[in-house]
Amino acid sequence: MEKPLKPLNLGIICHPTYGGSGVVASELGMALADRGHHVHIFSYLRPFRIPATHLRTQFHEVEVTSYPLFKYPPYTSALATKLAAICKEQPMDLLHAHYAIPHAISTYLCKQMIGAGAPRTVTTLHGTDITLVGLDKSFFEITRFSILESDGVTAVSENLALETREKFQIDCPIQVIPNFVDTGQFKPSLRDAGLRAAFAPKEEALIGHLSNFRAVKRVLDVVRIFHRVVQKAPARLLLIGDGPEREPARNLVAELGIQPKVKFLGLHRQIPALLAQLDVFLLPSEYESFGLAALEAMACGVPVVASRTGGLPEVVIDGECGFLRPVGDLAAMARAALDLIARPDLRRRLGKAARQRAEKCFPRDRIVEIYESFYRKVLEKK
């Protein structure tokens, strides 16, 4: 009989605020803890996706002492110090950094501080840590170094793995482990006529977008696409999330005179229930390494209209679960959305296929198992 595998002592390090990498790290941490592993979460704030009621995960707040000398409080050092302190108290098998900057260098420093018996380190690349922030000359060399020094590296899509190899001239193995969705939580059955009526009358289509409103998301394109749509068909737009582009988006909505048709919901906890009310999900980003929000909409049975960029074609199959159009092609994206609005049969068919794809290719439990075997492989490495 095979011996049961020993539960692992794991440290997960992530950004706690709204953004895909924090969501993936949090959901992964909770799922691993529910599978019996001892999971420690490290961040400067409790990640919003991990409720305090989730007792199986242990949260360690990283505090950075402020001092007048520090214009920029040294979070990277504070994180490394916290990691080493906890590892000394409760030896850890592995530290998993989500989003390379600055987490991967802190796990490296922790390993150096502990020396013999130090935990192994895994870095998961999420997107802008490679395609945007990591390329900045103030971060490039240290990002490359911290990736090369990780005991294991994963990327959330084939596209991101390729971008990493090309942009950082790295030839270490990068295992692609796609993001996942909890299809028991994000599901079409959350569609509810009463809730939907709060956002749009029955005869009007409900279009939605969810992001952290960074420039890379092209939220202004969302507004412009909707403006084209609403000239041809009755519709409403729900904008979920918050970030630097919120005010410019508000101004554009006012300039185009479509305020009565657009609702800014801001940061929200009930994401599955909101997504399930939509008829079309818009994600016209400049780049997405994966597009977790699109996957969450798909799991709710909502077809996606998105840019053909980065890892999005690995998630949304064009013509099967939605439509992919060139970045910035507002006319084509508006046409695709209008097509879905005008043809309920097409919308239903693509929505159903989207749900099936989320269940078949990105189910939480299977992807979490892939992470588990990856950890064991890294731990076995000499």
**Candidate residues 16, 21, 159, 164; the one interacting with ligand GMT per rule CB under 6 A:** 21
Closest to 279 measured CA to CA, from 300, 306, 262, 250: 300
Angstrom distances, CA of residue 28 to CA of 113, 133, 225, 230, 262: 27, 24, 34, 39, 34
- The distance of closest approach from Cβ of residue 14 to ligand GMT in the complex, given in angstroms and rounded to an integer, is 9
**Candidate residues 57, 164, 289, 309; the one interacting with ligand GMT per rule CB under 6 A:** 289
Instruction: Mark the segment that binds ligand GMT (CB under 6 A) among 68-76, 208-216, 232-240, 327-335.
Output: 208-216
Q: ω before 201 within 30° of 0 (cis)? A: no
Question: Which string of x and - marks every residue 167-186 that binds ligand GMT (by CB under 6 A)?
Answer: ------------x-------
Instruction: Mark the segment that binds ligand GMT (CB under 6 A) among 240-248, 283-291, 299-307, 369-377.
Output: 283-291
Q: Residues touching ligand GMT: how many (CB under 6 A)?
A: 20
Question: Which string of x and - marks every residue 51-90 that binds ligand GMT (by CB under 6 A)?
Answer: ----------------------------------------
Tokens of 302: 């909502």
Whole-angstrom Cα distance, residue 317 to residue 340? 15
**Candidate residues 38, 60, 214, 349; the one interacting with ligand GMT per rule CB under 6 A:** 214
SS3 content of the chain, % helix, strand, coil (to 5): 45, 20, 35
Strand partners, 262: 237
Instruction: Mark the segment that binds ligand GMT (CB under 6 A) among 191-199, 212-220, 300-308, 339-347.
Output: 212-220
Whole-angstrom Cα distance, residue 244 to residue 238? 17
213 binds ligand GMT (CB under 6 A): no
287 binds ligand GMT (CB under 6 A): yes
Residues 304-363 that bind ligand GMT (CB under 6 A): none
DSSP 239-289: EEE-STTHHHHHHHHHHTT-GGGEEEEES-S-HHHHHTT-SEEEE--S--S
Cβ partners under 8 Å of residue 287, min gap 6: 127, 131, 132, 216, 309, 310
- The distance of closest approach from Cβ of residue 77 to ligand GMT in the complex, given in angstroms and rounded to an integer, is 22
* Chain contacts with ligand GMT (rule: CB under 6 A): 19-22, 24, 99, 126-128, 156, 179, 212, 214, 216, 287-292
